[in-house]
Structure 1
Amino acid sequence: MADIKHPQSPALVHEDSDHSNDHKKDVEKGPNAAHTVVESQDHVAIHDGIHDGLIIANDDDLATLRRVPDAVPWRSYCPLPGNNTGAGGKDGQSGALAANGLTTFNSFWVYVIPLFGAYIADTRWGRFKTVCIAICIAIVGHILLIMSAIPPVIVKPNGSLACFVIALIVMGLGTGGFKSNISPLIAEQYQRSKPFVEKRPNGEHVVVDPTLTAGRIYMYFYLLTNIGALIGQITMTYAEKFVGFWLAFLLPTVVFFLSPLVLYIGRNRYVRSPPAGSVLGKSMRIFKYCARGRLSWNPITTFRRLGSDDFFERAKPSNVLREKGQLPSWMTYDDLWVDEVRRGFSACAVFAWLPIYWLTYNQLNNNLVSQAAVMNTHGLPNDVLSNLGSCFLLVIFIPLLDMVVYPALRRRGYNLSALKRIAWGFFTGSAAMIWAAVVQHYIYKTSPCGNRASSCQNADGDNVSSPLNVWIQSGSYILIAMSEIFASITALEYAFTKAPKNMRSLVMSVNLFTSALSSALGEAFVSLSADPLLVWNYASMAVLSFIAGCLFWWQFRHLDAEEDELNKLTAGHVSEKDDAARD
């Protein structure tokens, strides 16, 4: 490759002003920040306080040079709060119908409330303030959870249960405030948005890609979360077994009290995005404006029209002015923001397939635990692989993929893009279910009671299990862990990188909401979750996940081809002026 010259040669310099030319580069640091753009023959240098001194990659660089992530800023590690859920709902589950119902409710609740937390953060309080208030609410929930389990209360089942339910509701409200905001807050501590060229010590020129950096940030966010989960599941299990539930609930509460301290210490160091007002209303009005005349009684026709490439073009102010001569009073944004909204809606469409993936993943916490119970565990709890295996495997696989596998693929010219990784998440999830179906088949084959293995007893009334070793389940957990890295972590990355900057929490909450939808969808498969239909259960999940992965890739392969163009979009501008007016 030819040497890359720093773009300080004869150039044209554009200074930020109120009357800018059409060809001016619009890059900013924070709201309305001044900037300078220097153009050379081959490259562009942007002086905005973030990209100063960097050689911005051009199209040739993006097409030919190997891509690498940038260094993760230290302040990205600091906003992460401790584990908010503890082990209460899960480790305290007795197997009774009421406990199962509460667990199901909690799973649904904590993934619905983030929609409201995201709305408040994006429109009213901002992410940092919302996270701080949410932590205070969650702490109250933790205290109530401890109170429900202290010896004087737990001996009174009705009062203890009432306090426990209230604690779940309050903790869910706190979760809603930070679950959809903490990961965008972490990722936006890294401010570079333009890929730039860097020369490595070995003389190789590489493109430092901000999208890969966001992916790395979310991988280590997930890694630290699972380290906390791994430690918590070990310590709280023994605390509950040898002392009581009150200590099991107290341990995560003590750790959680560190969160306000961390946020207070770093309050002046964090990059904070101010709330953007009612941009959600504007984005929905854009969609409504573009959908006029495109709806049909034929759902296929409607789907094609709404998914056409020019769907959002009619809402761009430049096109409206050309057609009508004036803008509606609510249309207080520029063309670039419409492109961002289009990208955000595309991301939400990508997430529409995730409930099927989570349906497969949820087998980890229920049916696979039951499968282990009818195998030879050699004295281990039947949930040992579920509780420890998945977290432990993620702690191993995440650094392995980030530092070995992904770089090796990029060196060979294969860019495993976000949508490709999500598709592979479906396929590896399908493979995990095939493994589970085969194991279940051999359980039925080796159990003394055949396909009634879960209720098998001898003449003395003792439970009789299959002689198969429980560790043959490991293949399912390895594949599920890989699928979680491909699908779940990448979905977090995709939500952050594709959402409009002033709607990141909202798009993230849509991604989280898919878990709630999968919980509801899972009710349709409850009848398959018992003998003698468990082989069919796992086989059904495998087929669903594989078909969903194929359809997912077929539907969004065009977005994958546009990945670089979507990532290069410049942030648009929008104001709240006269938002309530009608055109």
Structure 2
Amino acid sequence: MSYPDEKLVNNEKSYIIEATSSDDTVLSAKSTERSIPAGDNGPSIDLYPDPTPDELETLRRVRDKIPFSAFIVAVVELCERFTYYGVSGPFQNYIQYNPSDLIPGKLGKGESTATALNYFYQFWTYCTPIFGAILGDQYLGKFWAIITCCCIYMVGLIVLLVTSFPFADTSASLAGLIIGMICTGFGAGGIKANVGPLIAEQYTNKRLFVKTLKSGERVLVDPRITNEVIFQIFYLCINIGALSPLVTTNLELHVSYWAAFLVPTCFFCLAFLAMFLGKRILRIKKPQGSVIPMAFRVCFQAIKHKFSMEAVKPSRDPDANYPWNDHFVEEIKRALQACKVFCLLPIYSLMYGNMSSNFVSQAGQMELHGIPNDVMSVFDSLTIIVFVPFMSAIGFPLLRKMGFKMMPVTKMTIGYFLIGISMAYAAIIQHLIYSAGPCYENPLQCPASNNGTLPNRVNVAIQIPAYIIMGMSEIFNYVTGLEYAYTKAPDSLKSFVMALYLLTNAVGAALGMAISPVAVNPKILWMYTGLAVAAVVAGIVFWFMFRHLNSKEDAMNHIDAEAEEYYEAAAFIGEEGRA
């Protein structure tokens, strides 16, 4: 169901009401009020009543209908993530090995250089959303910012592809790699900062309202739950795209690197196609001008008034002639709340970074039985692909029906605990590796390993639960963080706040580089143990710092609805004045 679209018809408010859902009757009405007028047989019928305080507490909450345009944006993200993971998957081997090595490469720069460049690529990719956000919020708008970043992305892909052919020498290939990393990293970051807000903007309702299902049950349609489902779909597409290394790593091994880079480059063209074909039905907002500098001015004035946001509201000090209104100050307060919630996310990102680094090395110390050690991360993506629809359709609704209110802060706290369990499980695996021969605490490094060809006698399948638990933690923490970054950001600063959220990944990568010296045998066992403790402590601290925000969730989300009424009233008064 979609909330009534409000239009002015003959200077009266007209609501076009359309409701469709698998469990709802289809309603269609047009009225100058929110109800069907009274007739000869009875009183008027309010089709979309606001909930009473009692209904807010007692009615079951359900999602609204997801607009089709949101799925178009999700396809764009799927294509971009397929390209990103498909291209970056072979980077380690591409940089580390020579073409004539047992594992064929291209540049032959060794493990240290390969690891350093990979860390740089991750750090750069998650720093650039700031620039993409400013581009989208202040200058081009989200749609054209995504198109611009796609073009830069494509330049990097083409350079990387051309310089990966056998005829390119090592120096040309290295230069092409660096240019490719810079361009694709900037493009990926710019797209990331804008595509999340764009998908959520496709759903416009901001108010809770009551509806009656076909079964006769009265339920509360909650825009927060709807946004939650939208971002679950969004993250599902990310992880479908993350399966691309299954294709590119095999092409790298059996064909060549140019083939591994060609497939993602071609697939990326589908992102352009989806954006242009969907432009007519996408809800596209214009950029808000110089809102970002004004936001910093509000914060600066608040600091001057002893960190009081209330003191910089025009209603409190009319003589100050502030160029903003009270609602804009409330939006800034809400954005700051979102940013506070992000303060511990670098710790989560630090844990998550182990999946593509230390977990891969740990798998290499075990018996692989013909399975590549860098393919195990697929189980993380598969977990999300399976459990996101399950939690959306069954898990979270069942918990809500049982009386458990899965509010954002609650879910993110659970995410911290789950990733801590994943780290603890990794520590147990490392202990089992050190307890098995032939090399015990020095896997692949003792004479009994036959020059590093005999790993310790532990089956790599035992590592799968670590990826599954980590995938579940992403559903609770990372998906909820994306939703929170969008719903709590000021309407004109959504991309910028989303970029700050993504920046926590860059900080997490920097922390990973800082602790990398202890990621060696046998110290790595204690590293996993320390990370597990840090995750649990972070979860406890996070809960006690932000649990009070759960009770304010509906009120904070209601600000957007009040803004719509404010600006509609202003526009109506303007029309009346001109008349």
TM-score for both structures, normalised by structure 1: 0.84
Query: Are the aligned partners of 1:501 and 1:571 in contact in 2 as well (CA < 8 Å)?
Result: no
- 2:92 maps to a residue whose letter is Q
Q: CA deviation at 1:36?
A: 7.9
1:278 to 266, 290, 299: 290
Name the CA shift for 1:454/1:423 in 2 (closer, same or farther; >3 Å).
Answer: farther
Alignment of 1:337-416 (within 5 A): 337-386=328-377, 388-416=378-406
SS at match of 2:72: coil
2:574 maps to: none
Query: Are the aligned partners of 1:456 and 1:463 in contact in 2 as well (CA < 8 Å)?
Result: no
SS at match of 2:463: helix
Q: CA deviation at 1:364?
A: 0.8
Q: CA deviation at 1:89?
A: 2.9
CA distance in 1, matches of 2:167, 2:195: 36
- 2:433 maps to a residue whose letter is I
Give CA deviations for 1:104-154 in whole Å, capped at 9, x if unaligned: 11101111111011011111111011111111111111111111211211x
Name the CA shift for 1:499/1:17 in 2 (closer, same or farther; >3 Å).
Answer: farther
1:66 maps to: 60
Q: CA deviation at 1:368?
A: 0.9
- 1:533 maps to a residue whose letter is K
CA distance in 2, matches of 1:457, 1:200: 71
2:312 maps to: 315
CA distance in 2, matches of 1:370, 1:461: 17
Q: CA deviation at 1:177?
A: 2.2
Query: Are the aligned partners of 1:457 and 1:464 in contact in 2 as well (CA < 8 Å)?
Result: no
Alignment of 1:175-324 (within 5 A): 175-230=188-243, 232-292=244-304, 294=306, 306=307, 311-321=308-318
Identical pairs, percent: 36
1:327 maps to: 320
CA distance in 2, matches of 1:542, 1:531: 18
SS at match of 2:416: helix
State whether structure 2 residue 441 is matched by structure 1 residue 448: no
2:485 maps to: 495
Q: CA deviation at 1:392?
A: 1.1
Query: Are the aligned partners of 2:89 and 2:248 in contact in 1 as well (CA < 8 Å)?
Result: no
Please identify, of 109-118 and 262-271, the stretch whose mean Cα deviation from structure 2 is larger.
262-271
Query: Are the aligned partners of 1:426 and 1:483 in contact in 2 as well (CA < 8 Å)?
Result: yes
TM-score for both structures, normalised by structure 2: 0.84
Please identify, of 89-98 and 215-224, the stretch whose mean Cα deviation from structure 2 is larger.
89-98
Query: Are the aligned partners of 1:145 and 1:167 in contact in 2 as well (CA < 8 Å)?
Result: yes
1:145 to 160, 164, 168: 160
1:160 maps to: 173
Name the CA shift for 1:513/1:460 in 2 (closer, same or farther; >3 Å).
Answer: closer
1:571 maps to: 563
Q: CA deviation at 1:511?
A: 0.5
CA distance in 2, matches of 1:468, 1:288: 58
Gaps in structure 2 of 5+ consecutive residues:
14-30, 37-45, 97-110, 571-579
SS at match of 1:203: coil
Query: Are the aligned partners of 2:445 and 2:451 in contact in 1 as well (CA < 8 Å)?
Result: no
Gaps in structure 1 of 5+ consecutive residues:
1-6, 8-12, 19-23, 25-34, 41-51, 295-305, 576-583
SS at match of 2:219: strand
Query: Are the aligned partners of 2:423 and 2:532 in contact in 1 as well (CA < 8 Å)?
Result: yes
Name the CA shift for 1:53/1:270 in 2 (closer, same or farther; >3 Å).
Answer: farther
1:48 maps to: none
1:87 maps to: 86
CA distance in 2, matches of 1:172, 1:460: 40
Q: CA deviation at 1:242?
A: 1.2
1:551 maps to: 541
Please identify, of 110-119 and 63-72, the stretch whose mean Cα deviation from structure 2 is larger.
63-72
CA distance in 2, matches of 1:399, 1:336: 36
SS at match of 2:423: helix
State whether structure 2 residue 424 is matched by structure 1 residue 434: yes
- 1:319 maps to a residue whose letter is R
